[in-house]
Amino acid sequence: MKMKENMVTVYIMGEAYDVPDSSTIITAMEYAGFQLTTGIGCREGFCGACATIYREKGDYKLKGALACQTVVTDGMTLAQIPFMPSEKPIYNLQEITADINTVKELFPTIFRCVSCNTCTKACPQDIEVMDYIQALKKGNIAEAADISFDCIRCGLCALRCPAEIVQYNAATLARRLYGRYLAKKSPEVDESIKEIEDGKYDKELDDLTKMDRKTLSEKYYSRETKLR
Amino acid sequence: MYPDYMLESIKQVEKTRPERYELSKKYGKQVFPPMNEKERDDILTNFHPDYKDDALTEIKIGPNKGEKLTSAVSNMLESHTRIDPAKFDLNKPDHETDVLIIGAGSAGMSAAITAAGNGSEVLIATKLRLGDSNSMMAQGGIQAADQKDDSPVLHYLDIMGGGHFDNQPDLVKAFVKDAPLAIKWLSDLGVMFDKNPDGSMMVKPGGGTCRSRMHSTRDYTGAGICRVLRDEVYNLPDKIKYLEYSPIVELILDDKGQAAGAISYHLGTKQYSVIKAKTVIIATGGFGRLHIRGYETSNHYGATADGLMLAYRAGVKLSFMDSVQYHPTGAVYPEQILGFLCTEKIRTMGAQPVNKNGELFVYPLEPRDIEASSFIRESTERNLGVTTPSGLKGIWLDSPLVDMINGEGSINKYLPAMYRQYSRFDIDIAKYPMLVFPTLHYQNGGVQINDNAETTIPGLYVAGEATGGVHGRNRLMGNSQMDLIVFGRRSGLHASERAKKGVDFGKMSLEHVYSYEKEVNKINIDKKKIAPILLPDYIPNHVKEKQVDTEYFGTLR
Amino acid sequence: MKIPYYPGCTLKSTAKHFENSAIASAKALDIEFIELPKWNCCGVVTPLAEDDIMHHVAPVRNMIRVLEMNKAGTVSNEKRLLTLCSMCFNTLKRSSLRVKEKIDDLDILNDFMYKEEDYDGSVEIVHFLEILKENGFDKINKKVKKSLKDLKVAPYYGCMLLRPKDIGLDDPERPTIFEELLSALNAPPVDWRAKNKCCGSFLTLENKETVAKLGHDILTNAQKSGADMIITSCPLCAFNLDNRQKIIKKIHPEFETIPVLYFTQLMAIAFGLDKELIGLDKNFINPIPLLESKGLL
């Protein structure tokens, strides 16, 4: 009982193709006959491989999107940005500090931000990109890590930035600094490691590995469940 | 937004919601009685796709010859090679390295960082880009028994029970013992685990766990880990080199039967390269893009089980290749996100699966195969599913409960990826339930390894989803993410150690390719059927009909 | 009194003690700073080129936040935006005047914004010193708990508080506002020649030596005029005059160091506020021995 598809015309790199109106940009390109090897990845909005820029009919705005997450519209004209040239500073996370000095040293370009907010407008994840760059400028790494959390590194922010900042690399640094240095420590993890290293569970585990299926099954179904 | 007729059914869901909310206040997660051993057996036998008559096919060649494997896998393994071995001069390698890693998901990159840290030169060859993998897409969590009320022993039991006691015990033991250490390793690399205000890990339960031990980074757990590993790889340019868009198409052995390298194929320039390596790690992931039994998949575009073919052709046995994981909650509406994963974390945070009348019919946190089978029963035998406009069946996952139970805004805060996914189609999952049905999710089985991640071929290691044994015939939520790190690190360490000791190489050889090819020819396989498949074929027939002089070699032209 | 407050990036990092001491001193005078709920960099360097509208986006965006605060009722009918950092003050004020004068520019900027409401040119940029003056220096005098009468303080204006003329908050050649404040704190102000000389500003990044030379001239002039310490309201001036004393000492071994404080730190000392809020450990040249010798700690 599949319903009949309505067709729309999309312009892929300027060329017109008729595709079903329920297509995403990726499936539209495949429907048109392209076998994609770049500009494609997870197809579910997690990998950032399929960054695309497009304009819709009658709209002056150049928009950014993930091709796998965006449904085509009639008259849409688009081009994929399968790769974003960028400088990534090399650092040893274990030897840097979680403060503004690290940010200044590794990402001096962020101090060129003119607060135009074009990055935010370009972000297909609706991240307030400018806000996290501004947070970094103030040395607020925790805030930058939090705001940028959903970044999938598609590169569209950097593509549109007039100050030529590579926002997503700065965001990666902020999150790693937060995870490594600023997040509160979880002592229970170290304690459990110590118990294991001290051999506390060795005998019990060894016994389990040798246990016959029936005994193991009984032990499994009779174990107590305590969920938080 | 949902069409009107679906909104009618949603009204039923809304009607029963207050009562079900009360149940959750009273019984926590156990709003429906969990199944006992017999009930589990019954539902699997009657409803799990693995138990259908044509689910398995006997494989006619190779190390598992005569065994029954998942039909699509048997079919893929009975394929020709992509290369003509005679055309390669193995004595003139294009690249040489200590450790060659095939695949750059979390397993491959954990292996790379570990091997590099142990002093080895590493080369990664990956099909698409660094980090392009199922690892990046995982949402719900990563399991480790590091809480006071938990222990590796309980973790062990959960894994064995979830896998129906078929799991390989030495692997499970290594797994549960390494897990807390892996959490620490990731924290030190800067992974932002969700934490309680006092700093302790914010842990949730998962399907089939008896304790709350699911660690997460919101609902981007895979990405939260994988992107940190990728950044670390970028930060080690002197120690780790990488080739992108360069899938491996065959392994190279030496005449003593040791791993000696591999042949890569560049997807863009179509050139092949010879890579010589002292040790080789396969970390190529799973098989979702084989679309087993026609199922939609939650998997990455590149999940075509290349590693199974590479290892199998080289003579390594596969384990548990008769079982497939269908994740209970794949999206069935809207159509554009068909098969996409709706993370199990939604259920661990309190969402309940209900039928079209808004009735509970299963404990929301059964192991995945049980949960999936009960969804299938509800929408087939009992006919209580909801039909989509294109004719698919689904079950409601009542997500608004998450906010009711955990406080308003919880969905937006802890499930941002899910929230965004549905918002793109004007569905607010904090207000409306999600329509779901099992989706092809995970390769339970894979290449056989020991607890050092070694195969029967000296110098060949395998890690991550490409392996078989840890999870038996059914994996629990959050154990694949941990699998990637535990066995990624183990493979990296042991491969590096072997490389450091020095390998006494014989003559480089593709003899195994010739001999496997002979077997394939004996069973009359179509010349155009080749594997590794590399990428799925989504070119529609109306295009192919007009490509009058285009040659398709496997799925690629 | 509640007033919208714009901190600026430096006040959240290296000049945190400036902010802390200012907020605490203001509180003692019943002035409450309400920080903009969301703000970005002031723009730092206001472009002098006619056509460089892009660089006015940042300051104007901050002014829109003041309108939003009024709309949300966080402040009531208070369109003034208070600044502490001289650089932020100058940058924001210059933009606010420019868009008021050139309506066409304002239209272009409004067109460029995203979800923000239009800016109408109604926000007035003020410096904390101006608010203190308006509030009455006599009120400050009443709050003094520790008299600074033995402390000779040289007030340093630099450029950004005074120039250009239509931006400056006082006479660019003969300013008095700092002196009035010091008098209110019972501290005898030092009259000196270099109070409005340039500290070298951003040259500090590229040419430390030049900045050290300028700093040496300024600091020694203060010392010759009898000053025990210098006060400022600019984090960049503070950096050039305070932190750069290390290099000055290297070039001029005979040079004696002199403490440089934010004026708000001095207020907080006079008001007898908590030493955590004064943050004297954040100053590069340690002012504690001097202050102790005058019995102020």
Domain final position from C89, C104, C129: C129
Distance CA B208, CA B231 (A): 33
Please check whether residue A70 lies inside any domain of the structure: yes
Please check whether residue B245 lies inside any domain of the structure: yes
Q: What is the mean pLDDT of residues B37-60?
A: 96
Structure-block tokens of residue C59: 């300051």
Question: C175 preceded by cis ω (within 30°)?
Answer: no
Number of structural domains in chain B: 2
Domain final position from B439, B471, B493: B439
**Measured between CB atoms, which of C54, C58, C114 is closest to A121?**
C114
**Measured between CB atoms, which of A186, A196, A216 is closest to B199?**
A186
Q: Say yes or no for a CB contact (<8 Å) between B268 and A37.
A: yes
Neighbours of chain A (3+ CB pairs under 8 A): B, C
Element (H, E) at B96: strand B95-102
Domain final position from B396, B411, B439: B439
Does B215 qualify as catalytic in the annotation?
Answer: no
Q: How far is B164 from chain A (nearest CA, A)?
A: 8
Please check whether residue B458 lies inside any domain of the structure: yes
Q: How far is CA B467 from CA A37, B144, B362, in A?
A: 26, 20, 31
Q: What is the mean pLDDT of residues B423-449?
A: 97
A119 interface with C at CB cutoff 8 Å: no
Q: Does B129 share its domain with B150?
A: yes
What is the predicted pLDDT for the residue at A67? 97
Q: pLDDT tens across B488-518, in order?
A: 999 999 999 999 999 999 999 999 999 999 9
Please check whether residue A193 lies inside any domain of the structure: no
What is the predicted pLDDT for the residue at A228? 85
Please check whether residue A219 lies inside any domain of the structure: no
Neighbours of chain B (3+ CB pairs under 8 A): A
Q: Say yes or no for a CB contact (<8 Å) between A228 and B205.
A: yes
Domain final position from C94, C129, C164: C129
What is the predicted pLDDT for the residue at A5? 74
Q: Does B210 share its domain with B310?
A: yes
What is the predicted pLDDT for the residue at C47? 61
Element (H, E) at B37: helix B37-47
> What single DSSP character describes residue A17?
E
Q: Does C124 share its domain with C141?
A: no
The 3-class secondary structure across C227-245, one letter per residue, is CCEEEECCHHHHHHHHHCH
Please check whether residue B205 lies inside any domain of the structure: yes
Q: Does C202 share its domain with C240?
A: yes
Please check whether residue A223 lies inside any domain of the structure: no
Q: Does B220 share its domain with B115?
A: yes
Question: B33 preceded by cis ω (within 30°)?
Answer: no
Q: Does B293 share its domain with B191?
A: yes
Q: What is the mean pLDDT of residues B78-83?
A: 97
**Measured between CB atoms, which of C12, C43, C61 is closest to A138?**
C12
Relative to beta strand B508-509, strand C32-35 is unpaired
Q: Where are the alpha helices (DSSP H) in C102-202?
A: 103-112, 128-135, 137-143, 177-184
> What single DSSP character describes residue A179?
I
Q: pLDDT tens across B206-265, in order?
A: 999 999 999 999 999 999 999 999 999 999 999 999 999 999 999 999 999 999 999 999
Domain final position from A32, A55, A80: A80
What is the predicted pLDDT for the residue at A1? 37
Under a CB-based contact definition with an 8 Å cutoff, are residues B76 and B291 in contact? no
Burial of B363: CB neighbours in 10 Å, binned 0-12, 13-18, 19+: buried
Under a CB-based contact definition with an 8 Å cutoff, are residues A103 and A170 in contact? yes
Q: Say yes or no for a CB contact (<8 Å) between A115 and C9.
A: no
Kindly report which listed range (B65-69, B385-389, B425-429, C113-117) carries the lowest average pLDDT score. C113-117
Cα four-point dihedral sign C264, C265, C267, C273: positive
For residue A91, which of B264, B236, B285 has the smallest C-alpha distance? B236
Number of structural domains in chain C: 2
For residue B162, which of B478, B437, B377 has the smallest C-alpha distance? B478
Burial of A63: CB neighbours in 10 Å, binned 0-12, 13-18, 19+: middle
What is the predicted pLDDT for the residue at C49? 72
Q: Does C142 share its domain with C288?
A: yes
Distance CA C33, CA C16 (A): 15
Q: Does C72 share its domain with C212?
A: no
Q: Does A58 share its domain with A132?
A: no
Mean pLDDT (chain B, rounded):
97
pLDDT tens by residue, chain C, 297 residues: 999 999 999 999 999 999 999 999 999 999 999 999 999 999 886 566 777 888 899 999 999 999 999 999 999 999 999 999 999 999 999 999 999 999 999 999 999 987 889 999 999 999 999 999 999 999 999 999 999 999 999 999 999 999 999 999 999 999 999 999 999 999 999 999 999 999 999 888 889 999 999 999 999 999 999 999 999 999 999 999 999 999 999 999 999 999 999 999 999 999 999 999 999 999 999 999 999 999 998
Q: Which of chain C's residues have a Cβ under 8 Å away from the Cβ of A138?
A: 9, 12-13
Q: How far is A84 from chain B (nearest CA, A)?
A: 12
Does B300 qualify as catalytic in the annotation?
Answer: no
**Measured between CB atoms, which of A69, A186, A201 is closest to B200?**
A186
Structure-block tokens of residue B9: 């059914």
Domain final position from C96, C129, C162: C129
Neighbours of chain C (3+ CB pairs under 8 A): A
Question: B353 preceded by cis ω (within 30°)?
Answer: no
Q: Which domain holds residue A67?
A: 7-80
Strand order in the sheet with A15-20: A15-20, A7-12, A77-80, A51-55, A63-66
Q: Say yes or no for a CB contact (<8 Å) between B165 and A94.
A: no
Structure-block tokens of residue A90: 């090399």
Residues in chain C: 297
Chain A's closest residue to C59, CA to CA, is A115
Q: How many CB pairs under 8 A join A and B?
A: 235
Q: Which residues, in sequence order, are bridge partners of residue B435?
A: B396
What is the predicted pLDDT for the residue at C48? 66
Q: Which domain holds residue C94?
A: 2-129
| pLDDT grade for B405, boundaries at 50, 70 and 90 | very high
Residue A190 C-alpha from the chain's centroid: 29
Mutate to test the interface with A, among C6, C10, C12, C13 (most CBs of A within 10 A): C13
Which one from B48, B347, B441, B512 is the annotated catalytic residue? B347
Q: Which of chain A's residues have a Cβ under 8 Å away from the Cβ of C55?
A: 114
Residue B447 scores a pLDDT above 70: yes
Please check whether residue A168 lies inside any domain of the structure: yes
C43-75 per-residue burial string, b: 16 or more CB within 10 A, e: under 16:
bbebbeeeeebbbbbbbbbbbbbbbbbbeeebb
The answer to ipTM > 0.90 is yes
Q: Does A67 share its domain with A102?
A: no
Distance CA B187, CA B180 (A): 11
Whichever domain contains B222, its CATH number is 3.50.50.60
Which one from B20, B48, B313, B327 is the annotated catalytic residue? B327
Q: pLDDT tens across A42-91, in order?
A: 999 999 999 999 999 999 999 999 999 999 999 999 999 999 999 899 99
Q: Does C85 share its domain with C145?
A: no
Q: Does A110 share its domain with A31?
A: no
Q: Does B228 share its domain with B128?
A: yes
Q: How far is A107 from chain C (nearest CA, A)?
A: 15
Neighbouring CB atoms inside 10 A of C104's CB total 9
Residue B4 scores a pLDDT above 80: yes
Q: What is the mean pLDDT of residues B32-56?
A: 96
Q: Does C142 share its domain with C279?
A: yes
B329 φψ region: left (φ > 0), alpha (ψ -120 to 50), beta (else): beta
Q: Does A166 share its domain with A120?
A: yes
Q: Which of chain A's residues have a Cβ under 8 Å away from the Cβ of B148?
A: 188
- Count how many Cα atoms sit within 13 Å of the Cα of residue C228 in the half-sphere of its side chain: 19
Question: Can you list the residues of chain A whose pLDDT is less than 50?
Answer: 1-3
Please check whether residue B535 lies inside any domain of the structure: no
Q: Is B95 helix (H, G, I), strand (E, B) or coil?
A: strand
Q: Which of chain A's residues have a Cβ under 8 Å away from the Cβ of C43?
A: 114-115
Q: Does B131 share its domain with B234?
A: yes
What is the predicted pLDDT for the residue at A2? 45
Q: How far is CA B143 from CA B170, B177, B209, B396, B484, in A?
A: 18, 12, 10, 27, 11
Please check whether residue B60 lies inside any domain of the structure: no
Number of structural domains in chain A: 2
Whichever domain contains A42, its CATH number is 3.10.20.30
Q: Which domain holds residue B364?
A: 4-31+326-439
Q: Which of chain A's residues have a Cβ under 8 Å away from the Cβ of C61?
A: 115, 117
Domain final position from A25, A58, A80: A80
What is the predicted pLDDT for the residue at C277? 96
Q: Say yes or no for a CB contact (<8 Å) between B211 and A94.
A: no
Q: Is B435 helix (H, G, I), strand (E, B) or coil?
A: strand
Q: Does C158 share its domain with C278?
A: yes
Burial of B382: CB neighbours in 10 Å, binned 0-12, 13-18, 19+: exposed
Q: Which residues, in sequence order, are bridge partners of residue C4?
A: C34
